[in-house]
Amino acid sequence: MSETVLRAGFVALDITPPLGVCLAGHFNVRHASGIHDPLTAQIVVLELGGSRLAMVGTDLIGVSAPLTATVRERVHAATGLPPEHLMLWATHTHAGPAVHPVFDEPPDEQYLAVLASQLAGGVMAALERLQPAALRVAWGREGRIAHNRRYRLKDGSVRTNPGVGNPEVAAVDGPTDPTVGALFVDTAEGLGAAIVNYACHLDVLGNGNFLLSADYPYYLRETLKAAFGRPLVIAFANGPCGNINHIDVFANRRQGGYDHAQMMGRMLAGEVLKIEPWAKALEVSELWGRSRVLELPRRPYSEAELAEFRRVLGDDRIADTAYAKVRARTHLALHERGEASAPVEVQALRIGDLAVLGFPAEYFVEYGLELRERSPVPHTLVVELANDAIGYVPTPQAFDEGGYEGTSARFGRDTGPRLAEAALELVAG
């Protein structure tokens, strides 16, 4: 086999946890009572000239730095794959298990241990299945299913998710990113795998859902598999969507639940099907990965803020599950830990004329738009919640304006621009 021949391998794994696991993403404790659809890990590996990359998308709320490190270490020990050549990301489903403590409930450590073994084994299995392949890339647009969730009220303040039909809403306070990016992996048998990049929160099912589910990417995958008439590995990579979700405040209709998730997944799949025949061959002359760990400052707190946190925690009229108390507990714990800064990883993968940029945050959509515009590479996929989950990273302006994202951010106001600059430096080589 010539070293200049591109090869690819791909695997889909069932990573569904046992029933009873605590579901993450909301302020009420939810123990999974059933399985609507299986949670999966969708794995794509590439090889060219002795260099290999692995991209692992998981149906999880997030992944942690320790989980990523464990998977990378095991794969490296078994195969020699450099740690910086493996990117692990989460789709951000709110109908999956916790990877961090939820209120007073810790995550299921036994499940996380098994998960690490599954993911490492899945990458190894994909590397064993390498076969000659060709890549194609296509870009489309779906602007109907995602909406900026920050709104400017008539009094000039900004609120996140102010409620459908709220008469105090004056205007949307930010952009969306309707871009649909797709990387197709073809083998001698035809299309075998794809990575689909789109920016919209996976919280369509809501806090009344107690079933395990991948949310709308499940319907994306099922629609594509049915259309192509064959099993496919479809890794959904969520773009920067810290301020983007499925709710249009100006639309007077119910928005949420499995029927809405189905609609979104099918519409997104429809756009992928529309652009696939026109996908252009991707020239791959190089294959590499780089990562950088930045030591970034934690959010500073004033004495007035700390006093307010303590007041909220001492107020018995406020429920323990209310956002005010959750925020107060979180920020006081960070303050009392005494960490002035914390390490944050940024990663860039290069696949010839395409780059995959990974950020460990719920990154604001403005950064995705900026990074694609400024990238020195012809095609750039921007992926959030890659390799860790550090919470919201708003723009500096949104940080100052507050709202849910600004008040819950755990790092300083300049975190977003610093992450973006680091990624652009990495991908430029």
Q: What pLDDT, on a 0 to 100 scale, did the predictor assign at position 105?
A: 74
What tens digit of pLDDT does each residue of 171-214 get?
999 999 999 999 999 999 999 999 999 999 999 999 999 999 99
Q: At a CB cut-off of 8 Å and minimum separation 6, what does 277 contact?
A: none
- Pick from 126-130, 232-236, 386-390, 425-429: least confident: 425-429
Closest to 185 (Cα-Cα) out of 94, 271, 284: 284
- What confidence score (pLDDT) does residue 348 get? 98
pLDDT higher than 90, residue 217:
yes
CA distance 415 to 393: 7
Confidence band for 245, pLDDT divided at 50, 70 and 90: very high
Q: Which residues pair with 102 in a beta bridge?
A: 105
Residue 356 scores a pLDDT above 70: yes
pLDDT of residue 103: 66
Q: What is the mean pLDDT of residues 20-28?
A: 92
State the pLDDT at residue 19: 97
* Cβ partners under 8 Å of residue 261, min gap 6: 204, 205, 213, 215, 216, 218, 219
* Average pLDDT of the segment spanning 402-413: 94
Q: What is the mean pLDDT of the chain?
A: 95
Pairwise CA distance, residues 169 & 174, whole Å: 13
pLDDT of residue 155: 96
DSSP string, 370-415: HHHHH-SSSEEEEESSBS----EE--HHHHHH-HHHHHH--B-TTH
Give the rounded percent of residues in the chain with a pLDDT score beyond 90.
88
| Angle CA 256–260–266, to nearest 5 | 150
Distance from chain centroid for Cα 354: 19
Q: How many H helices and E strands in the chain?
A: 10, 25
Among candidate residues 228, 232, 199, 233, the one with its CA nearest the CA of residue 216: 199
Pairwise CA distance, residues 58 & 237, whole Å: 9
pLDDT band at 323 (very low <50, low <70, confident <90, very high): confident
Q: What's the residue count for the chain?
A: 429
Give the helix/strand (H/E) hosting 304.
Answer: helix 303-313
Least confident of 91-105, 137-151, 272-286, 398-412: 91-105
Map tokens 């989460």 to a residue: 90
pTM of the prediction? 0.96
The tokens of 31 are what?
């123990």
